[in-house]
C-alpha cells in the first residue's frame, strides 16, 4: 500500500501522479505488495528531520528512511512476516524542490519523479557515497525512470 500525506500547502503537487509513479516503480521492482509512505512537508519540517537524523541543520529536497536498513543494493527483500512488507518512508519538500529547479534544468514534475526514484533506491540499499556505488545507483535510477515513463 502506498500512503501519501501532504502536510504542506504552499506548493501544489499532483498526488495522483505521485501515487501512480510510485505504483509503477514498485511493480517494476516486484515490490507491489510492499508498503511505502511518502510525506510531503515544508522546509522547516524537513530541516528538523535532517538535523535530527543526519546532523545537518539545513533543509533538503528528500530524505529516505528504509525499513530494511541492512539490505544491499540489488538484494531482494524476502519478507518473513507481514511487518517485513514495508520498504520505508520518503520525505519530500516541494518548496525546496521548486526553489532548486534552476540548478537541475528540469520541470517540477520531472524533478519530483526523479527524487521519488532516488528515494526508493535508497530504501533498497542503493547509495552514492563512493563513485562505484554512484554508478550502480545511477543505472538503477535510469532504468526505473524508463519503466515509469513508458
pTM: 0.94
pLDDT at position 12 is: 96
Q: Which of 128, 97, 102, 104 is nearest to 18 (CA)?
A: 97
Query: Is 150's pLDDT higher than 80?
Result: no
**Contact between residue 21 and residue 4 where contact means Cβ atoms under 8 Å apart:** no
- State the total domains in the chain: 1
Q: What is the CATH number of the domain that holds 28?
A: 3.40.390.30
Give per-residue pLDDT as tens, 23-63.
999 999 999 999 999 999 999 999 999 999 999 999 999 99
Evaluate if residue 132 carries a pLDDT over 80.
yes
**Domain range spanning residue 59?**
2-148
Contact criterion met (CB below 8 Å) for 66 and 86? no
Whole-angstrom Cα distance, residue 97 to residue 48?
17
The pLDDT-based confidence of 134 (bands split at 50, 70, 90) is confident
Amino acid at each position: 500500500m502506498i500512503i501519501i500525506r501532504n502536510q504542506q500547502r504552499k506548493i501544489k503537487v499532483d498526488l495522483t501522479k505521485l501515487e501512480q509513479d510510485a505504483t509503477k516503480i514498485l511493480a517494476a521492482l516486484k515490490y507491489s505488495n510492499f508498503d511505502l509512505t511518502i510525506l510531503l512537508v515544508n522546509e522547516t519540517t524537513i530541516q528538523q528531520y535532517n538535523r535530527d537524523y543526519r546532523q545537518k541543520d539545513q533543509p533538503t529536497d528528500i530524505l529516505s528512511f528504509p525499513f530494511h536498513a541492512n539490505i544491499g543494493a540489488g538484494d531482494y527483500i524476502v519478507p518473513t512476516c507481514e511487518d517485513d512488507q514495508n520498504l520505508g518512508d520518503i520525505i519530500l519538500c516541494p518548496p525546496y524542490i521548486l526553489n532548486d529547479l534552476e540548478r537541475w534544468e528540469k520541470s517540477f514534475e520531472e524533478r519530483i519523479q526523479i527524487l521519488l526514484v532516488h528515494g526508493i533506491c535508497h530504501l533498497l540499499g542503493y547509495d552514492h557515497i563512493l563513485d562505484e556505488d554512484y554508478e550502480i545507483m545511477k543505472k538503477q535510477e535510469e532504468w526505473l525512470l524508463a519503466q515509469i515513463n513508458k
